[in-house]
Amino acid sequence: MEQLLKKYFGYDAFRPLQKEIIDAVLNRKDALVLMPTGGGKSLCFQLPALMLPGVTIVISPLIALMKDQVDSLRANGVAAEYINSSSTAAANSDVMKRLRKGEVKIVYVAPERLALADFQNFLKTINVSLFAIDEAHCISQWGHDFRPEYRSLNVLRRNFPEVPMIALTATATEKVQEDIVQQLRVTEPQIFLTSFNRPNLTYSVLPKRDAFQSTVSLLREHAGQSAIIYCFSRNETEVLSEKLRADGFKSLAYHAGMSADERSAVQDKFIGGATHIITATIAFGMGIDKPDVRLVVHYNMPKTLEGYYQETGRAGRDGLPSKCVLFFSVADKYKYSTFINEMSDEEERKKANVQLDQIFRFCALTTCRRKHLLEYFGEKADSVECATCDNCQSPVELFDATIDSQKIMSAVVRTGQRYGKGYIIDVLRGKDDEKIKARRHEELTVFGIMRDQSVHQLSQLFDFLLERGLLAMVGDKYPIIQLAPDGLTILKNRESIALPKPREKSKTREKPQKAKGNLPYDEDLFQELRQLRRSIAAEQNVPPYIIFGDVSLQAMARSVPTSRGSFAQIHGVGERKLDQYGDQFLKVINDYVSTAA
Ligand code: ADP
Ligand code: ZN
């Protein structure tokens, strides 16, 4: 098995559970595989496909992804095909002919086609060794991406009782898991569950001040690399892309309001590397298997923690260090609350409020974000190492904010719980202001009692009190600040309150974070290799990562192989790629070495 792994895929070792899963499949057991994005699920059916006598049928929801996967397999010398509505009838029937002759090891099929009686009958005439159901959560209404066509997969067990099935998903919730097993009619599958930790991703939450400038610095830090920026609305995706383009970035918008053609054009540009940045609504992502997305930004607070995990999950599929940054403001939470409170269905409203509360708590967290995420998904995270999320990188300093908080809360109460944050800050700082005078608020005892603090500092204290649920933001059109029930209790009992220290304006948490696995390599050589990769990819009309992933190029730029023998040792170099590309890449490396010498 290890030999085949190197020969076809160019890898030296299995990732956690891959070997166990492959063993189960080869022993004709049904298997359910729950692994995070980038965990290496594909290999769990691709390697068995090479070893089993007949053909492996892969069910996959997205036509765009099928082509990508098939291109990758072919680049590794595997006889792979797909049958779907994007090919001509002639091409599809050609594939069927080759299937009859036993010339194909893996074929990708869309679920709607698979369920057709004609196609089922066809399958009965060929030797099927394995069914692999990719993105298996699509079968469940409880999942985040239900596809009714997946329901028809229940015919498989009836028509092919002897053929083993492997179902794979990056969704870990128990409900979805049960649903998959039940819908597919598999009895007693072996269940394989790996940790959902993504050690190569760093998580941080930044205050949403100067979000645009902060985004620009992040993008400069990741110059030439791929980034996805998730926005709240369609309009926002367009405005942001335009601003970024004006700043010289290659950025395009993507949202559900665009035509299918426009959307796939944007996707293709992103996958091919013509555009580095996508500003998108959450409509973007399912169809994207791009392994080298280095940065995922949430320009607004995401709506749910599950969504956040899925969206950030699109970063760093190849295992290289990648960054996830979320811009957070209490105003976003307020905006969502107003939306939610307008929902007519009470059940929906309740559910949405619970979800909002969960993501809000994540944003306001002062402890490890990675552990919080994993615990949310039901993992025991005590022993998980992090050190790379913002809170682990620069632990939040707390101070005794009892007096400050009392002053702020009494100002809210004394002014009648009817004003916004800005106004109350003006009162606390003793501003000379017509409105304050007209309301006779300069006569209050709280007037000017915090004049030694800057607006910026006070604004942060307000946010912390809102985050802690001691103050609340309410109102329809203009948010006003009121005392929350917890705030009232604390104020009455004169309990002490510890809050994070407000930060100076320029010092938002932006320490560079280094994730694990970032071994040094020769950057100039890496860039030359990327250049070569780009030109081969353009020639062959495939995405660059089909030729070699960044992991392989970095390995070349690290160990600098100058012979075929040493080139063959590189991660991702199998027999086929050695033959096809070895000489070209070796020439670039040898030229580089001799000019550098
Ligand atoms: P998933 O489908 O779980 O999101 P993939 O199957 O796309 O993950 O694999 C993610 C990445 O890991 C790919 O770039 C793949 O080439 C790589 N990979 C998979 N298995 C191994 C392995 N055993 N050794 C090294 N790299 C691997
Ligand atoms: Zn952490």
At position 434, the amino acid (one-letter code) is E
Assign 313 a pLDDT band (cuts: 50, 70, 90): very high
Give CA–CA dist 434/438, Å, rounded: 6
Q: Which of 455, 465, 357 is nearest to 410 (CA)?
A: 465
Give CA–CA dist 90/108, Å, rounded: 17
Instruction: Please state the domain extents for the chain.
Output: 2-193, 201-393, 398-500, 523-596
Q: Is 290 in the pocket of ligand 1 (CB under 6 A)?
A: no
The protein residues having their C-beta less than 5 angstroms from ligand 2 (an ion) are: 368, 370, 386, 389, 392
Give CA–CA dist 428/446, Å, rounded: 6
What's the topology of domain 398-500? Answer: Arc Repressor Mutant, subunit A (1.10.10)
Instruction: Determine the pLDDT at residue 509.
Output: 46
What confidence tens digit (pLDDT) does each residue in 252-263 have? 999 989 998 999
Looking at the DSSP bridge assignments, the partners of residue 201 are 322
Residue 109 C-beta-side C-alpha neighbours within 13 Å: 25
- Does domain 201-393 fall under CATH 3.40.366.10? My reply is no
Torsion sign, CA atoms 221, 359, 384, 134: negative
Mean pLDDT of 319-323: 95
What confidence tens digit (pLDDT) does each residue in 198-242 have? 999 999 999 888 899 999 999 999 999 999 999 999 999 999 999
For ligand 2, the distance from its centroid to the CA atom of residue 367, given in whole angstroms, is 7
Instruction: Determine the pLDDT at residue 591.
Output: 94
Q: Is 318 in the pocket of ligand 1 (CB under 6 A)?
A: yes
- Say if residues 50 and 574 touch (Cβ distance below 8 Å): no
pLDDT at 476 over 70: no
Q: Where would I find the H helices in 477-549?
A: 485-493, 523-540, 544-547
Q: Residue 75 has which token pair?
A: 């680049």
Q: Is 35 in the pocket of ligand 1 (CB under 6 A)?
A: yes
Give CA–CA dist 45/168, Å, rounded: 9
What confidence tens digit (pLDDT) does each residue in 279-296 have? 999 777 766 779 999 999
2-193 homologous superfamily: P-loop containing nucleotide triphosphate hydrolases (3.40.50.300)
Instruction: Determine the pLDDT at residue 473.
Output: 85
Residue 504 C-beta-side C-alpha neighbours within 13 Å: 2
- Say if residues 536 and 584 touch (Cβ distance below 8 Å): yes
Mean pLDDT of 532-545: 93
The reply to whether domains 2-193 and 398-500 share a CATH topology is no
Beta strand 165-169 with 31-34 is: parallel
Q: pTM for this structure?
A: 0.85
How many C-beta neighbours within 10 Å does residue 293 have?
Answer: 24
Give CA–CA dist 191/167, Å, rounded: 10
Q: What's phi and psi for 546, nearest 5 deg?
A: -70, -35
Give CA–CA dist 138/375, Å, rounded: 24
pLDDT at 517 over 60: no
Closest-CA residue, ligand 1 atom 10, reads 38
- Placement of tokens 């309150």 in the chain: 497
Instruction: Determine the pLDDT at residue 547.
Output: 96
Closest-CA residue, ligand 1 atom 17, reads 40
Instruction: Return the ∠ at Cα 570 (arms to 569 and 576), rounded to 5°.
Output: 85
**Residue of 9, 72, 546 to mutate, ligand 1, most atoms within 8 A of C-beta:** 9
523-596 homologous superfamily: HRDC domain (1.10.150.80)
Instruction: Determine the pLDDT at residue 494.
Output: 86
Q: Is 15 in the pocket of ligand 1 (CB under 6 A)?
A: yes
Give CA–CA dist 354/359, Å, rounded: 9
Burial of 515 (0-12, 13-18, 19+ CB in 10 A): middle
pLDDT at 508 over 50: no
Assign 584 a pLDDT band (cuts: 50, 70, 90): very high
